[in-house]
Amino acid sequence: MAAIAETIDTRFTLRPGSADDATACGQICYDAFGAISAQHGFPSDFPSAEVATQLLSGLLSHPGFYSVVAQSQGRIAGSNFLDERNSIAGIGPITVAPRIQNQAIGRRLMEDVLQRVAERRFPGVRLLQAAYHNRSLSLYSKLGFVAREPLSTMQGTPPRVSLPGHRVRPATLDDLPGCNRLCLQVHGHDRGGELRDAIAQGTARVVEHEGRIVGYTSIIAFFGHTVGESNDAVKALIAAASEYPGPGFHVPTRNAELFRWCLEHGLRVVQPMTLMTIGLYNEPAGAYLPSILY
């Protein structure tokens, strides 16, 4: 933990984040994502500073997230987060104030959470990277990340179709063991901590086929993940959503059948992204939609 208390140089220092940092970090998050997306002609991940602040307020106060804040000349300059709810950790969002970017703050924020990963002995860590952002792709690659999967963030009106024999219903805590087994089957690890939160929030859904769970989602959204035995299971969950909160949900572009089905049902591509990993990674043995964290 000493890494976040040290003085990096005369320009900035790192420290643990706290709930009191939400407003400043939220404004920077909004400004940073807005600036880089505008430079490349894409919509921002956050429609307002208030939305970004609400998100980061939740992460800063959640016991399952580690946070680190950069300060420069007494002002908050950026932040980064590590999702520690599952056996595989997820990084993000990482943001640095546009006025002081390209001064190694982003690198140190990344190095800090990677040190945390090593200290906590996570077998793997992952993130999603905006494919149009060359600087972040280069930085993450130099830090040891491997590009694993091209993704398409998709948005639109949920298609009002049903998949024969597939029934979607709200998930309950009784479903957790079955969902964990399914995720283990597809990915080689479960995401039970994240799914438990989604069940408590009332956003999680399962899909049943022939009397058993064949897929689940924490929520079909930017921060939600989905796992299915087949494309049909994932299609049923996508179709059953009332909306797709945030910028949209992430479809592995290599899954041509699922990607084409989304396009044929009126959904549109918002932006390209890339799943990147360090450590344990298994090629998925089923259908899935990653969250913005992984």
Residue 279 lies in a domain: yes
- The amino acid sitting at 291 is S
pLDDT at 60: 98
With helix as H, strand as E and coil as C, how does the chain read? CHHHCCECCCCCEEEECCHHHHHHHHHHHHHHHHHHHHHHCCCCCCCCHHHHHHHHHHHHHCCCEEEEEEEECCEEEEEEEEECCCCCEEECCCEECHHHCCCCHHHHHHHHHHHHHHHHCCCEEEEEEECCCHHHHHHHHHCCCEEEEEEEEEECCCCCCCCCCEEEEECCHHHHHHHHHHHHHHHCCCCHHHHHHHHHHCCCEEEEECCEEEEEECCCCCCCCEEECCHHHHHHHHHHCCCCCCCCEEEECCCHHHHHHHHHCCCEEEEEEEEEEEECCCCCCCEEECCCCC
Query: Are residues 180 and 93 located together in one domain of the fold?
Result: no
Domain containing residue 188: 154-289
Query: Are residues 158 and 279 located together in one domain of the fold?
Result: yes
Q: Do the bridges between strand 89-91 and strand 124-130 make them parallel or antiparallel, or are there none, so unpaired?
A: parallel
Residue 131 lies in a domain: no
Q: What is the pLDDT of residues 195-221, one digit of tens each?
A: 999 999 999 999 999 999 999 999 999
Residue 147 lies in a domain: no
- Point out the domain boundary residue: 106, 122, 138: 122
In percent, the amount of the chain with pLDDT more than 70 equals 97
Residue 10 has pLDDT above 70, yes or no: no
pLDDT at 100: 83
Structure tokens at 247: 């910028």
Query: Are residues 58 and 169 located together in one domain of the fold?
Result: no
Least confident of 94-103, 164-173, 196-205: 94-103
Residue 106 lies in a domain: yes
Structural domains of the chain, count: 2
Instruction: Provide the β-strand partners of residue 288.
Output: 227
Query: Are residues 175 and 115 located together in one domain of the fold?
Result: no
Residue 56 lies in a domain: yes
- 99's CB contacts (< 8 A; 6+ apart) are none
* pLDDT band, very low/low/confident/very high, at 5 (cuts 50, 70, 90): very low
Residue 145 lies in a domain: no
- The amino acid sitting at 23 is T
Query: Are residues 114 and 209 located together in one domain of the fold?
Result: no
Residue 57 has pLDDT above 70, yes or no: yes
pLDDT at 90: 98
pLDDT at 6: 36
In percent, the amount of the chain with pLDDT more than 90 equals 90
- Point out the domain boundary residue: 67, 100, 122: 122
Query: Are residues 103 and 175 located together in one domain of the fold?
Result: no
Residue 28 has pLDDT above 90, yes or no: yes
* pLDDT band, very low/low/confident/very high, at 3 (cuts 50, 70, 90): very low
Residue 4 has pLDDT above 50, yes or no: no
pLDDT at 11: 76
Distances (CA, A) of 41 to 138, 157, 244, 264: 20, 23, 22, 25
